[in-house]
Amino acid sequence: MLNIALPKGRLGEKVYEIFARSGFECPEVLGDSRKLVFENPANGVRYFWAKPSDVAVYVERGAADIGVAGKDIIDEYRPDVYEMLDLGMGKCRMCVAARKDFRDNPDLTLRVATKFSHIARRYYASVGREIDVIHLNGSIELAPVLGMSDVIVDIVETGTTLRENGLEVIETIMPISARLIVNKSSFEFKKDQVLKVMQALATAVEE
Ligand code: PRP
């Protein structure tokens, strides 16, 4: 049985559909229940719904053989897993954004609010800027609106949240999309099964 961690939510449903199209159906997964684990012994898969930011933890520790996580999560938490395939979905970008009237003074330490502290530190180290990271867990846009930070480092998808709060993108740090990740031991001990799923998914993604 191959254990597959799916990110709970809208992206996870789309991700499951790709697995199903690739020959690994388990129709119960999309049912309207509070159940978290579903299996279909006929095609050797067991799916479970995990919080998106936790998928990499399940895969790293081997509770899941494979999983799907955003590039944002992978870069932030740097789990010890193989990143194998870009599924080309869940596309968005990691950006620096600020209030429209923000004027940067490069001589001052920049106050950066974010859920992605590591990505923010790495980015500002690469451009040689000193920053003060304010780590938040959500609704990051509030910080510059209330004057608590100068900028935010956050995910932008449609841009609606920024627009509706009087903020704008000032830099794009990197594009984000959903990636297939694989547990390192599973890639050794369940290699045939993992490769079978990977190849089928790669074909489905191309189509
Ligand atoms: C994410 C992100 C932005 C928003 C961007 O938040 O942190 O706030 O989506 O999407 P948009 O560009 O389409 O408006 P999420 O919904 O994950 O919740 P959060 O505020 O708790 O981080």
- How far from each other are the two terminal CA atoms of the chain, in whole angstroms? 27
pLDDT given at position 32: 86
Which residue stretches of the chain have pLDDT < 50?
Answer: none
- Whole-angstrom Cα distance, residue 85 to residue 109? 38
| Residue nearest ligand 1's atom 5 by CA | 156
Secondary structure letter of residue 54 according to DSSP: G
pLDDT given at position 173: 98
- Spell out which residues line ligand 1, taking CB within 6 angstroms: 138-141, 154-161
Which residue do the tokens 């449903």 mark?
A: 13
Q: How many angstroms is it from 82 CA to the middle of ligand 1?
A: 27
- Whole-angstrom Cα distance, residue 176 to residue 14? 16
List the domains of the chain with CATH numbers. Answer: 2-90+177-206 (3.40.190.10), 92-175 (3.40.190.10)
> From the alpha carbon of 154, which atom of ligand 1 is closest?
7
> From the alpha carbon of 156, which atom of ligand 1 is closest?
12
Q: How many angstroms is it from 161 CA to the middle of ligand 1?
A: 7
Q: How many angstroms is it from 94 CA to the middle of ligand 1?
A: 11
Q: Are 55 and 67 in contact (CB under 8 A)?
A: yes
> From the alpha carbon of 159, which atom of ligand 1 is closest?
12
For the segment 85-139, what is each residue's pLDDT rounded down to a tens digit? 999 999 999 999 999 999 999 999 999 999 999 999 999 999 999 999 999 999 9
> From the alpha carbon of 155, which atom of ligand 1 is closest?
2
H helix or E strand, kind and range, residue 206: helix 191-206
pLDDT given at position 33: 87
Burial level of 34, CB count in 10 A (0-12/13-18/19+)? exposed
pLDDT given at position 171: 98
Q: How many angstroms is it from 62 CA to the middle of ligand 1?
A: 29
pLDDT given at position 10: 85
| Residue nearest ligand 1's atom 19 by CA | 138
Pairing of strands 37-40, 45-50: antiparallel
Q: Are 70 and 184 in contact (CB under 8 A)?
A: no
| 196: amino acid identity, one letter | K
| Residue nearest ligand 1's atom 22 by CA | 138
pLDDT given at position 189: 97
